[in-house]
A and B are shown apart, each in its own frame.
Chain A
Amino acid sequence: MTALAPQATPDPKHITVQYYALLREQAGRRDEALVTRARTAAELYAELTQRYPFSLAPEVLRVAINTEFREWTAPLADGDAVVFIPPVAGG
């Protein structure tokens, strides 16, 4: 009876997001704490794109969760710290 159907809406999660470089300028902030039902980093970026005028497509970004590079499809957990990484230019 308590088993969730696969399409069930996930519980809301508390996520922190940090923005750098072009994304920081376009978001107009360095970081934020938000509550989301996004299941993956990809879903979270899509959600944020509705809110901010991000010009960078996810194809050119990388994702870090809790200070490690991760796949876009990695599931988000309550308390995760997410960073979307624009094309880098060190050196």
Chain B
Amino acid sequence: MAAFQFTRTPIAPDELRRALADPVCGGYAAFEGWVRDSNEGQRVRGLEYEAFEALGVREGERIVADAIARFGIAHAACVHRIGALAVGELAVWVGVSAAHRDEAFRACRYIIDEVKHRLPIWKKEHYLNGDSGWVNCERCAAAQAAAEDAAAARHVHEHV
């Protein structure tokens, strides 16, 4: 199994988990990131993930290799969804198998934290009120909307 991959189709954790099984392992830890129905006070209807895939795969493989080296785990893998997702869908999966639980938990946490921090993946949320926005770019989006409103107001004024 690839250490890191993007997929446009639903993630199947059971199959991925089976690929990490190994008689030397006494522990398995996994993390599933799901699409939540709200963010920062807004009701979320669904979202879209977009990725710079070539760099994302390269960095994702490095993160998994780093985790294996740092924590001495046996196997690890990560899959990230891209495209349109509905509330409740599985957006990202991380699985780790190791001789003991401690390093499995720690490596799993390390991988998801690094993936969120480093990989060139973007999330556009669609809200129930019809708005949408790129997560972590909201402030820029808000500034832009204010500028557009001001421009629209000027336009209206000109025609009054």
- Tally of chain B residues near chain A (CB < 8 A): 30
Most buried by B among A21, A22, A90: A90
Is the pair B136, A87 in contact by a Cβ cutoff of 8 Å?
yes
A67 at the interface (CB under 8 A from B): yes
Q: Contacts A22-B134, A55-B143, A55-B144; is A89 near B122 (CB within 8 Å)?
A: yes
Contact with A along B60-102 (1 / 0, CB 8 A): 0000000000000000000010000000000110000000000
CA distance A89 to B49 in the complex (A): 9
Which of the four size classes fits the interface of chain A? 20 to 34
Is the pair A91, B115 in contact by a Cβ cutoff of 8 Å?
yes
CA distance A83 to B51 in the complex (A): 12
Is the pair A21, B33 in contact by a Cβ cutoff of 8 Å?
no
B124 at the interface (CB under 8 A from A): yes
Sample (28) of A-B pairs whose CB atoms are under 8 Å apart: A20-B50, A20-B52, A20-B120, A21-B122, A21-B134, A22-B134, A24-B50, A53-B144, A55-B140, A55-B141, A55-B143, A64-B120, A67-B54, A67-B58, A69-B55, A83-B55, A83-B120, A85-B52, A85-B120, A88-B122, A89-B116, A89-B134, A89-B135, A90-B49, A90-B51, A90-B92, A91-B33, A91-B121
Could you tell me which A residues sit within 8 Å of B by CB distance?
18, 20-22, 24, 53, 55-56, 60, 64, 67-69, 83, 85-91
